[in-house]
Structures are given as structure tokens and as C-alpha cells.
Amino acid sequence: MRTEIRRVLENLVEHMTACDFFLVDAVKTLEKAMIGRAMKTAGGNRTEASKILGIHRNTLQSKLEEYAVAVPRKPPQKAGPALRARAK
């Protein structure tokens, strides 16, 4: 799998350099995509997403702000019997 990913990335780099896509743009694009995917996988949980990415939670928070990544929200939980009883 890693060999295949490396091959795909090498091909991508060839195309990117041919199109004057600079390193800083490539890094931002890759980071934003990976952060978005990790946040989606983690259901919006920043701690879990940071573990997926192998970065500190504070670093993730900074990058979320820098790249204006939309943070998915967990759907509201259904009220269980205890919550329904308190609501009455």
C-alpha cells in the first residue's frame, strides 16, 4: 500500500511541477484535505482527529483556523429516559 501511495504521489508531483504548483500550495492542499478527512472520520472530535493525524491537538486547532476547515458536528443525541424525565 505504501509503495502504491508513493508511486501515486511521485506522479502527482510531476504533474504539479509541470503546472507551476509550488510546494507551499501543495503542502496546504494536502494538509487541508487530510485534516478535513480526519475530522470527518472522528465525527468532529478534535482529540481523535489529532491522533489520526499524529499531531498535537493544539496544532490541529491552529490548522483548522488557518485553513478554515469546516468542523462536522455530531448529530444531537436522542434523549434517553433520564433526560426525558428531567425535561418534564
Q: Closest by alpha carbon to 30, among 55, 58, 67?
A: 67
**Which CATH number characterizes residue 36's domain?**
1.10.10.60
50 grid coordinates: 489529532
62 grid coordinates: 491552529
> Cell 496544532 identifies what position?
59
Domain carrying residue 65 = 22-73
Lowest-confidence region among 56-60, 61-65, 76-80: 76-80
Angle (CA) 41-37-67 rounded to 5° is 130
pLDDT tens sequence across 8-55:
999 999 999 999 889 999 999 999 999 999 999 999 999 999 999 999
In a domain, 78, yes or no: no
> What is the number of structural domains in the chain?
1
